[in-house]
Amino acid sequence: MKKLFALLLAVVMILSLAACGKKPATQSGASTATVKPTTAEEIEAANAEIRYAMGLLLDRNYIVESIAQGGQTPANTFVADGMADNNGGNFALNSNDGKGYYSVDKDKFQANFDEALTILKKYYDYDGTKFTNAPTLKYLYNTSEAHKAIGEYIQSALATVGITMTMENQEWNTFLNTRKDGQYSVARNGWVADYTDPICFLDMWISGSGNNDVQYGKGAHADLKIYSLDLTSYGLNIKVENGTWAETYDVLISEIKKCSDTEKRYSMMHLAEDMLMETGCLTPIYYYTDLYMISDKVKGFYSIPLGYKYFQGTTVEGMNSLPVCLASEPDTLDPALNSAVDGATMLVHLFAGLAKWQQNADGTLSVVADCAKELVEGKVNDDGTVTYTYTLKDGLKWSDGKALTAGDFEYAWKRAASNALGADYGYMFDVIKGYATETENDTTAVNLAVKALDDKTLEVTLNNAVAYWNELLAFPTYFPVRKDVVEQEGWATKPETYISNGAYTLSAWEHDSVITLTKSTTYHDAANVTMNEIKCYLSDDANNMLTNFKKGDWLLIDDVPTNEIATLKTEYAKEFVIAGQIGTYYVCWNVNENLLPKA
């Protein structure tokens, strides 16, 4: 941790803003709360204002310059900077009529602070320097020095006005499950694009999404009738006043995915982000960069802005095994159930979908055919649906030598889409015809319009044209799995039961130590896989990662200690990498958590 920041924490948490020269001037004069909501609808409206106000108390410029230090930029939108808007513009720059949702100008922080106090005085008693009856908050974060440092800053910023926030640290997998289950009040979060369309930042918040950690449309929030939606200006007969989240936001996302008019579609996506940000449940902090270290001995490596790193084509003189550290122990390596970027990096080595991301000779990236012979054009049907018919390459096999068939893709997609499986990314199949008619207890999603016509031919019909369809085909949730394999309990955590079809096999898993991937002899493009083995060491300790990198034991690490960044930029100028990434680091609030004073 940077010495200055450590010193601030060692003194008194509330001094951090003053020490960095940014302590806001407080407003004098005691006051008593003027608004006391009583109904569930009034309480949620008040909570939304409170969440927004607490977001105004945070100095995002200080966070990126003095804590994160990885080339990040302050965020004032949830959809990440760098995501294209209609006609090639920047979606984030056009959000909320071009204003964003928070001012991130350095000279506007005092104004943000003053606005926050004005809002909070409506709900909390103020003695002239601080609020005296605000509830105590608990901030949930996963083990990481960087996440801890940001959490401690947020803690100190709230303490400046008398709001107490404790902190709870959890190991990565426990943290993910706690947040997913809604067993928290406020937590750190981050989202990296799954594909290069803004909808991947928006559709995750529908009521039934497995990535809906905020709990929109779940629990008590499911019954709140406080949202409105008017799509009549888009030529749609949809106008809802005082509706639930499912009746408004879910409907909006559904209409966006049906829309073939690009201008209207992007306009509705901006409307969706407006709805999200009005809840105050998403507090953007900064736009991600991908910060990692890679030895200059490694040749042929590439990464993509979605966060995945590719080692299949790497070479290291004198070595045929590549030691890397991406993160700590993954919860699962089931393509349908994984929701972490580090897990996805392993999956793109273990499995092959119909398509894949590829780095071209000129350094650009593109999606190309993998198991499919080609990425065909879709046939537009009379009802507006679009049918794709894919032919698989000859001789495709699973790692145990059995033939891979189009039926394996059909089974995998229906399995991942089924409500019964509860996959985080099941909603990503809603572009396929029949998804919405699936029943809750249907484990095979029989209505999903995907069908193996024979062993080598797969037919899929979409509700309408989807601009990012090929990118979905390259996403791990769309990878094939085999029915007899995945029906074994715990299949995705044990090498002896793990059967895949990609460039590598899972040959060993020493839990909490190392996962070993070994070059597959059955992969259809094995001739172009240059690295025989990848050893993925498991750690979330940035200091441990850096120590092993400096010793040469690990040749890539995906995190470094915050207090070392300035030195590493100088001493490891070629090996310390700050790459572009489409993602947002943010704080999420449980929508069902009441932030009003206790009676």
Instruction: Judge whether 444 lies within some domain.
Output: yes
Euclidean distance between CA atoms 79 and 71, whole angstroms:
18
Name the pLDDT band for 23 (thresholds 50, 70, 90): low
Instruction: Judge whether 553 lies within some domain.
Output: no
CATH code of the domain covering residue 70? 3.10.105.10
The closest of 159, 161, 157, 158 to 125, measured between CA atoms, is: 161
Instruction: Judge whether 572 lies within some domain.
Output: no
CA 290, distance to chain mean position in Å, is 13
Tokens of 9: 């924490």
Domain co-membership, 32 together with 120: yes
Domain co-membership, 214 together with 259: yes
Domain co-membership, 111 together with 180: yes
Q: Is 535 exposed, middle or buried (0-12, 13-18, 19+ CB in 10 A)?
A: middle
Whether the pLDDT of residue 443 is over 80: the answer is: no
Instruction: Judge whether 564 lies within some domain.
Output: no
Domain co-membership, 282 together with 325: no
Euclidean distance between CA atoms 323 and 118, whole angstroms:
53
Instruction: Judge whether 595 lies within some domain.
Output: no
Domain count, the chain: 2
Give me the pLDDT at residue 28, please.
67
Instruction: Judge whether 521 lies within some domain.
Output: yes
Domain co-membership, 338 together with 236: no
What 16-19 contacts at long range (C-beta under 8 Å, 24+ apart), as own/partner pairs, is 16/153, 16/156, 16/157, 17/59, 17/62, 17/156, 17/157, 17/160
Name the pLDDT band for 18 (thresholds 50, 70, 90): very low
Give me the pLDDT at residue 505, please.
98
pLDDT tens-digit series, residues 252-287: 999 999 998 999 999 999 999 999 999 999 999 999
Euclidean distance between CA atoms 165 and 153, whole angstroms:
11
Domain co-membership, 205 together with 331: no
Euclidean distance between CA atoms 194 and 197, whole angstroms:
8
- Of 29-33, 418-422, 503-507, the one with minimum mean pLDDT is 418-422
Whether the pLDDT of residue 32 is over 60: the answer is: yes
Domain co-membership, 324 together with 283: no
Instruction: Judge whether 557 lies within some domain.
Output: no
High-pLDDT (> 70) share of the chain, %: 94
Domain co-membership, 324 together with 273: no
- What residues contact residue 65 under an 8 Å CB cut-off, 6+ apart? none
Q: Are 497 and 485 in contact (CB under 8 A)?
A: yes
Instruction: Judge whether 272 lies within some domain.
Output: yes
- What residues contact residue 361 under an 8 Å CB cut-off, 6+ apart? none
- Of 49-58, 184-193, 415-424, the one with minimum mean pLDDT is 415-424
Work out the mean pLDDT of the chain and round it to a whole number.
93
- What residues contact residue 85 under an 8 Å CB cut-off, 6+ apart? 91, 93, 94, 198, 266
Whether the pLDDT of residue 437 is over 70: the answer is: no
* Measured distance between the N- and C-terminal CA atoms of the chain, rounded to whole angstroms: 40
Euclidean distance between CA atoms 150 and 130, whole angstroms:
22
Q: What is the pTM of this model?
A: 0.90
The closest of 458, 457, 441 to 449, measured between CA atoms, is: 458
- Give CA separation, 363 vs 302, 359, 397, 470, in Å: 9, 6, 30, 20
Domain co-membership, 110 together with 254: yes
Mean pLDDT of 545-555: 98
Domain co-membership, 127 together with 51: yes
Structural domain harbouring 193? 3-287+584-589
Question: What DSSP string runs through 437-483?
Answer: G--TT-SS-TTSSEEEEETTEEEEEESS--TTHHHHHTSGGGS---H
pLDDT tens-digit series, residues 96-128: 999 999 999 999 999 999 999 999 999 999 999
Name the pLDDT band for 87 (thresholds 50, 70, 90): confident
**Where among 500, 517, 538 does a domain terminate?**
538
- Give CA separation, 69 vs 73, 216, 439, 585, in Å: 10, 32, 48, 14
Domain co-membership, 158 together with 234: yes
Give me the pLDDT at residue 331, please.
85
What angle is formed at CA 147 by the lines to CA 80 and CA 5, rounded to 5 degrees?
A: 110
Torsion (CA) 411, 415, 416, 418 in degrees, nearest 10: 140
Farthest-apart Cα atoms in the chain, separation:
78
Domain co-membership, 280 together with 223: yes
Euclidean distance between CA atoms 112 and 104, whole angstroms:
9
Question: For 280-381, where are the E strands, in sequence order?
Answer: 282-294, 298-299, 302-303, 309-310, 315-316, 321-327, 355-359, 365-369, 379-380
High-pLDDT (> 90) share of the chain, %: 88
CATH code of the domain covering residue 455? 3.40.190.10
